[in-house]
A and B are shown apart, each in its own frame.
Chain A
Amino acid sequence: MSRSFIAKNPSVLVFLAGLALFTLLVTVFSEGFGVGGLSTSFVKTLGKTLCLCLVAIAMDLIWGYCGILSLGHFAFFGLGGYMVGMWLMYARTEIIVEGALAQGAIPPTSQEVIDGIGTQIFGVVGSSEFPSIWAFSDSLILQLMMVVLVPGLLALIFGWLAFRSRVTGVYLSILTQAMTLALALYLFQNDSGLRGNNGLSGLQNLPGVSASQDVVSIWFLWASAFALGAGYVLAAFVVSGKFGSVIRGIRDNEARVRFLGYPVESFKLMLFTLTAMIAAIAGALYYPQAGIINPAEIAPIASIYLAVWVAIGGRGRLYGAVLGAAFVSLVSTWFTGGQAPDINLGFYTIQWVDWWQVILGLSFVFVTLYAPKGIGGLFDLIKTGEKS
């Protein structure tokens, strides 16, 4: 079985080799483990890009292969980040609070430690009580399970409601966008239990780890590369078998698949939940590298950008999603980071920080109109070139 699905997707081996080479090269040139040459912040950017590639794979599965344009997968991504961020913040604050209380003459009781952590974390939103959603935040194992379970459960409930009432096409897109907006607005409140618009911060500091950021960034790069590789193989496996054929059939003609006797809704729901979980794992790896997560991260526009990456990379092929996410997010970072030189036209200076979004938006229109296969379409051109 495993031979057959890799044989069907020769890109898997090429991709894994490329990913391994990339990781090796970054490690060799990193400041933490290698000869130096790549700054730690750039290593973090590369690590974050790998996570974005993973969520793009999830998006490609649900959109490119199943035809469901979900505008909510970045919400799952953000939720994953929140779940891991809760443990990071709790554990790190616990160390700080215990250290501070140990200075006193009398050793603290466990209740005093918890109260101290509560005040430290929720002081910014005028509270000191732990909301019930933080119940598992003291346990890394449980919280890591929450990374997958919470977004998975949300996707399961939402998907069940949406698919069973046969909401399809653009209606589903708008509905997923509404879900994202509702979640973002809810998290923006101070009494949401996740620190309102302050979000969770200081996530780059691993509790109990004294290694420098130079080293930690490489660890996260490895973890992200491993997750991306595993996600790619999983996605390739999923789309190659019978399950893959059914979901492609749903994309091309849902009614016909239903008439053939397949439970279309169950297939869609399974895929929706699976991709939400993949997105959440990507988010859980992304935000410790970013250092902070706040509700603005899961605003509807973020999910739209996710669709933009996949469309530019070329949907319906896994490497297209990876290429699109890596290419667009790195170019965006380059342009919006102020590194691109401004162009002085004499009467007007084009500042890329201002104009990049315009170009991105218009290139999106261009890709949709004239290059629906995206960057991945270039590979088709090469292939046909070889044949002829």
Chain B
Amino acid sequence: MKRLLLTCLALVCACQMIFAQSAAAQAPGPLQTVLQAHAKDVAKPSRKTIQPVIDAIVASGLEPVPGFLSAWADKSVWQRKEDGLFFIGEEVAKRTYALTDVDSGAVVAEVAKKELKQLKPNSGVRGLIATALVQFQLSDPNPETRAAALLAIERAPGAALLAPLRASIPAEADPVLLARKTRIERLLTIGYDEDTAARVAAIEEMSGDLGVDVRAALNPLVARKLNVATELPEGENIADILIPGEGDLTVEAAYDLLVAAEGVPPRTTPEMIKAVLADNINGGFVAGVPVAQFTDLQTRLSAYAKLAAAGQAPGLVNDAEVQSALDLHVFYETYAEPNAAVTTAAEAALSSISTRVGLNQSLDLGLDAISLASIYFLAAIGLAITFGLMGVINMAHGEFIMMGAYTGYVVQQVIPNHTASIIVAIPLAFAVTFAAGVAMERLVIRHLYNRPLETLLATFGISIALQQLAKNIFGTQARPLTAPGWLDGAWAINDVVSISYIRIAIFVLALIFLAVFLFIMNRSRLGLETRAVTQNPRMAAAMGINPERVNMLTFGLGSGIAGIAGVAIGLYAKVTSELGSDYIVQSFMTVVVGGVGNIWGALLGAGMIGTLQKGIEWLNPSNTLAAQTYMIIFIIIFIQFRPRGIIALKGRAAGD
């Protein structure tokens, strides 16, 4: 009986102890348990040790994990000093925090700050946490969060993200995001899938894609590393075997690699020989050879050989020894990716992509050439009137372009709205340069008709004076002429082909000018009179046309068009006092190459010069100066074969 009593007592005691414990703290939830298992690493995380912890937390698959991770990254997780448990803390009063249980999400206590310790993961750790969070954000109801998660994957792709990304695809409702997800899934498959067949399939699928991201996914796979060994190793993904002295690998580079890899003695360079000789000078002699004789390499070599034989210098490593050392080794390049099937597919895909990129680049080059041609056409069309039709060499034409550009700049100082200012600037620039042209025609050119060389000189004088005037007024620094906002940016057809809206606008403007020119010359009274005066001024005067008036107006028209061209050119180039002189030679070339007196000739000339310049630049991209040089030489030679230009006037109209 006594024994029974004792047993009962013991049981009661035990029960009491259990109850007492549960009253002090509830049993920890499942997430808390996981956290407590790694309490030390969680409290003091470092970038090197935290990944397994994060993996363990994520692997638990618990519902509150994403919330906890984001709170952790936000530095709002606190550890209670008393029992070491982790809570999400929120400041409710000064220095007092409400603690939320990580599992249940319920507020369990309000505690003073001094009893808590804040977890402060550094940025490296926060990055890892963010990567872990991405897989939860991929299925977030908010599309913006999903888009942000996709961006995070694109920035830092990794093997761990492939599975969650795949899992999130079937449930994706947004078609745009679905497309992005599918694309990123393909790219990740290329880089990280464990199944070789799946990777090869993904590579083949993407091999027609021009996107930069595809090339960025493929290039690291086929990155090569140069290695050296005595014999070719087994089991490595070898890209190529190189023979020193053939192809890209020079003998020197190969031997340097050998020196670095195997520690063989470096090649004896002339500098080393010289240094060794200088160290061993003994009373004006080195190994019995007078120092003064060392103006010859052969003497130096023989003295060095004597030193080496005497053990005073390291042995001479000459070409023969270098070659024999190289012959004992094999040089090979390995792929960064060990899987041969993948690298073969990637190489094939890259070569097919580069073919397509090449095609698209030539398309892009074509667009560039057209836009350059339209700029030359704009610069030259005024000249096509004054020089082509009237035969007046106006070397100040470039300065009219400059005046137009400066007019645009001044208008923008007065009217800050860019769209409105451009709309005002175009007619104003026309008016200003029209007036300038008329004034010049009346004051100077009128007296010099039929004396082209004198006209050239006089207009040169005006050009010099105008340029310096612009410098005096506006200073030497470039002035900005800003395009309206809707002309910013570029029309990107794909990752290779794009053209800026300004260039499209200049192209359209060039087309409009062409139409206006054709209309004025062929359909208007002024055009009729101009053609009449050009062909035979006396006969035209006999018909009642006033040639002086017609000449004045025609010259003004040509100058005015130069002013509008100036506004357009100013939008895309900087406005300086030298703006005009940069274009004057090319403009004359355009008109001369195309054929004087014919607008279609100017168009063809501009097209030819633009294409030519872009083509030469493409052949030698680092050097645009050389492109201009070769272009001018080409034009000089071209004029040999067609001295009157592409479209030559025939018969009486050709004049002379």
Contacts and interface: CB of A to CB of B under 8 A. Distances in A.
Given A170-B393, A357-B465, A161 B458 contact: no
A358 to B, nearest CB: 5
A357 B468 contact: yes
B643 A165 contact: yes
A179 B458 CA distance: 22
Interface in A165-216: 165-167, 169-171, 173-175, 177-179, 181-183, 185-186, 188-189, 191
Given A179-B632, A181-B632, A188-B625, A170 B457 contact: no
B501 interface: no
A118 to B, nearest CB: 16
A337 B592 CA distance: 39
Contact of A182 (B291, B393, B448, B628): B628
A110 B461 contact: no
Interface string A104-116: 1111111100000
Contacts of A369: 444, 447-448, 458
A158 B639 CA distance: 12
A284 to B, nearest CB: 24
Contact of B585 (A177, A358, A362): A177
A110 B629 contact: no
A110 to B, nearest CB: 7
Nearest to A354: B472
Given A110-B295, A173-B453, A174-B592, A105 B278 contact: yes
B643 A166 contact: yes
A361 interface: yes
A185 B291 contact: no
Contact of B468 (A108, A174, A358, A368): A358
A300 interface: yes
A262 interface: no
A355 interface: yes
A361 B468 contact: yes
A161 B638 CA distance: 10
Contacts of B278: 104-106
B549 interface: no
A304 B448 CA distance: 19
A355 B635 CA distance: 37
B461 A362 contact: yes
Contacts of B625: 185-186, 188-189
Interface in B398-441: none
B472 to A, nearest CB: 5
Interface string B452-471: 11101110111111111101
Task: Decide if the interface of chain B is mainly helix, strand, loop or mixed.
Answer: helix
Nearest to B273: A106
A363 interface: yes
A149 interface: no
B632 A364 contact: no
A354 B475 CA distance: 10
A187 B635 CA distance: 19
A372 interface: yes
Nearest to B274: A106
A308 interface: yes
A100 interface: no
Q: Tell me which of A111, A362, A364 has the highest count of chain B C-beta atoms within 10 A of its own C-beta.
A: A364
A307 B452 contact: no
A53 interface: no
Given A308-B461, A365-B444, A165 B468 contact: no
Contact of A178 (B458, B461, B472, B632): B632
A368 B393 CA distance: 14
A152 to B, nearest CB: 18
Contacts of A83: none
B462 A361 contact: yes
A190 to B, nearest CB: 9
B448 A107 contact: no
B296 interface: yes
A105 B280 CA distance: 10
A165 B642 CA distance: 9
Interface string B261-291: 0000000000000100110010000000001
Q: Tell me which of A69, A307, A355, A365 has the highest count of chain B C-beta atoms within 10 A of its own C-beta.
A: A365
A109 B295 contact: yes
B314 to A, nearest CB: 18
A67 B451 CA distance: 12
Contacts of A178: 585, 589, 632, 635-636
A7 B96 CA distance: 117
A311 interface: yes
B328 interface: no
B588 interface: yes
Nearest to B588: A174
Nearest to B634: A182
Given A178-B632, A185-B628, A105 B291 contact: yes
Given A308-B461, A361-B462, A107 B471 contact: no
Interface in B587-605: 588-589, 592
Nearest to A105: B278
Interface residues of A, number: 54
Contacts of B448: 368-369
A67 B296 CA distance: 59
B472 A181 contact: no
A106 B454 contact: no
Contacts of A161: 636-637, 640
Nearest to B453: A69
A178 B460 CA distance: 15
A185 B454 CA distance: 27
Contacts of A191: 623
A376 B393 CA distance: 26
B640 A364 contact: no
A330 interface: no
Contacts of B444: 365, 369
A41 B457 CA distance: 32
A310 to B, nearest CB: 10
Contacts of B472: 354-355, 358
Contacts of B457: 69, 307-308, 311, 364, 368
A306 to B, nearest CB: 11
B639 A106 contact: no
A107 B585 contact: no
B12 interface: no
B628 A362 contact: no
A364 B461 contact: yes
Given A105-B291, A358-B465, A363-B461, A171 B592 contact: yes
A179 B296 CA distance: 46
B636 A107 contact: no
B309 interface: no
Interface string B48-76: 00000000000000000000000000000
A283 B454 CA distance: 27
B464 A361 contact: yes
A332 to B, nearest CB: 12
B171 interface: no
B623 A189 contact: yes
A181 B625 CA distance: 11
Nearest to A111: B297
13 contacts: A106-B274, A106-B291, A170-B456, A174-B585, A177-B585, A178-B635, A182-B632, A358-B468, A358-B469, A359-B465, A361-B463, A363-B461, A364-B461
Given A358-B468, A362-B461, A365-B461, 11 more contacts: A104-B278, A107-B295, A169-B453, A178-B636, A188-B625, A189-B623, A308-B457, A357-B464, A358-B469, A361-B464, A372-B454
The 5 closest A-B CB pairs, nearest first, are A361-B465, A364-B461, A361-B464, A357-B468, A182-B632
Interface of A: 67, 69, 104-111, 158, 161-162, 164-167, 169-171, 173-175, 177-179, 181-183, 185-186, 188-189, 191, 300-301, 304, 307-308, 311, 354-355, 357-365, 368-369, 372
